[in-house]
Structure 1
Amino acid sequence: MDSDSLDVVDQRLLEALQLDGRAPFSRIARRLEVSERTVARRYQRLCGRGLRIVGQPVAARLGLVRWLLRLRCTPDAAGAIAEALARRADTSWVTLASGGTELCCAVNTRSADERNALLLRKLPRTPHVLSVSAHCMLRMFAGEASTWHATRFGPVPPVPAADSGTPATAPLTLDATDRTLFTELARDGRATLPELSAATRRSPSSVQRHLDRLRTEGALGISVDFDPQLLGYHMPTQLWLNVAPAHLRTVGETLATHPAIAFAAAVTGTSNLVASGIFRTPADLYDYIDQHIGPLPGIQTIETAPTLQEVKRLAPALP
């Protein structure tokens, strides 16, 4: 299925869902200037093509530390290792790149013991893993609200999140209702209040208060998951940048405004800024580097790693 099968209404619906994945169809219909029935019908059709609206926990706001891992594996084992990592509840963004020998994934850890169990014991002892580099995410500039936002209609305004450099606060305390909501919204980010009320055994008004608190406090993000290839974007690429410290914030915040960038974060390691870009063709990737990356101040080196396969894009709810 190619991008020609998605018309302007489909693409504008995807854009509206990125602005608010739980927005009522009536509000989206007014924005798109079509009927509510049309929005509902188009939404169901997109779901049949892989669209998912998913509630995602915001790691830092819940006391988790987020790591980005780069593994180099033997070509015959990289796929199996990627699948094994994808089955873990604490991972997301599992991708294969560099001829199928490099694997990247994001992982959330609750404690030093959890971190060390994976990074110091599990992965180094995994057969056919040649090397592991772990990069702690220091500040997320883009990526909490969606898995992509490169649409022909321009950039979607980034949604502020606790990961994005706001002053440190104590992790939000979750009760049983909150945890049930995370589980249900991981299945369907647009689950209705009556459905969530039945799952939590709380009144709809109580559920709404919990949802408002989680979203206002920056603990819950509503993510839009849709294969960018269905919109004609066939060149997803990770960009590893080495940026002079004095320009790191400026470059990160600038990347977050670019429609092509689905994720950007300051990280530890030799490359101190990593971004995921979504491009239509290799020529578009070149133009982006030439016209948008090149003029930015303080960039010393850049490494590009085209994604060959996305094994996992979104993580499930908290365990």
Structure 2
Amino acid sequence: MSQPVSMDDIDRQIITALQGDGRRPFNQIAEELGIPASSVRYRTRRLEELGILQVVGIANPLAIGFDRLAMIGIRTAPGKARTVCTALAALPETSYVILTTGQFDVMAEVICRDIEHFTEVVNDQMQAIDGVVSTESFFVLEAHKLAYGWGVGTVPGPAEAEAPAE
């Protein structure tokens, strides 16, 4: 995992604004923050290049013909979890792949057209990855919250988190 990048309060406010509306004009954000639009543009580009920020359009998979959403718990052979994560991340059906602790070494979210597609992804692709020992599927029946704006403006940066208490 990469080291945290130094961000200031302006960077956090820009991220928060774009999490609320990724198509928001830079000049509107700049006006709210009291800085030039060129600064917002530069900072946004820098955050994107550093891999901190990604502005994308997110579609509701159920509304565009994908009928099966599932979380898959994956147990791996010792020392293979990271390579399994890399292989899973390359699958177009995975939207979320994480290295975890607990009962599973890896968790992955998959989005599939139907049960046949889901079966192919799990049986033919995931379980064929070197290092995968077993999988356990959890179908999503209802999504009660899908949030992407997790409040970066309230998360202290590394320098703030380490500041001594007075």
Alignment partner, residue 201 of structure 1: 34
Q: CA deviation at 1:216?
A: 2.2
How big is the alpha-carbon RMSD for the aligned residues of Structure 1 and Structure 2? Answer: 1.7
Amino acid at match of 1:215: E
Q: How does 1:260-271 map to 2 (within 5 A)?
A: 260-271=93-104
Amino acid at match of 1:207: V
Residues 240 and 275 of structure 1 are in contact (CA less than 8 Å); yes or no, is this contact kept in structure 2? yes
The reply on whether 1:299 has 2:132 as its aligned counterpart is yes
Number of residue pairs aligned between Structure 1 and Structure 2: 152
Uncovered stretches (5+) of structure 2, i.e. residues with no partner: 155-166
Quick one: which of 156, 172, 175 aligns to 2:5? 172
Alignment partner, residue 106 of structure 2: 273
Counterpart Cα distance in 1 of 2:11 and 2:106: 33
Residues 127 and 134 of structure 2 are in contact (CA less than 8 Å); yes or no, is this contact kept in structure 1? no
Q: How does 1:57-72 map to 2 (within 5 A)?
A: none
Counterpart Cα distance in 2 of 1:186 and 1:195: 14
The reply on whether 1:219 has 2:65 as its aligned counterpart is no
Residues 242 and 271 of structure 1 are in contact (CA less than 8 Å); yes or no, is this contact kept in structure 2? yes
Q: How does 1:133-172 map to 2 (within 5 A)?
A: 165-166=1-2, 169=3, 171-172=4-5
Alignment partner, residue 120 of structure 1: none
Alignment partner, residue 9 of structure 1: none
Structure showing the higher strand proportion among its residues: 1
TM-score after normalising by structure 2:
0.83
Uncovered stretches (5+) of structure 1, i.e. residues with no partner: 1-164
Counterpart Cα distance in 2 of 1:223 and 1:239: 24
Q: CA deviation at 1:294?
A: 2.4
Counterpart Cα distance in 2 of 1:286 and 1:266: 23
Amino acid at match of 1:235: R
Q: 1:198 to 1:280 in 2, by over 3 A?
A: same
CA shift digits 1:63-98 (9 cap, x unpaired): xxxxxxxxxxxxxxxxxxxxxxxxxxxxxxxxxxxx
Residues 127 and 135 of structure 2 are in contact (CA less than 8 Å); yes or no, is this contact kept in structure 1? no
Quick one: which of 172, 175, 184 aligns to 2:17? 184
Counterpart Cα distance in 1 of 2:39 and 2:12: 14
Residues 180 and 199 of structure 1 are in contact (CA less than 8 Å); yes or no, is this contact kept in structure 2? no
Q: How does 1:32-111 map to 2 (within 5 A)?
A: none
Alignment partner, residue 210 of structure 1: 43
Counterpart Cα distance in 2 of 1:308 and 1:260: 18
Alignment partner, residue 161 of structure 2: none
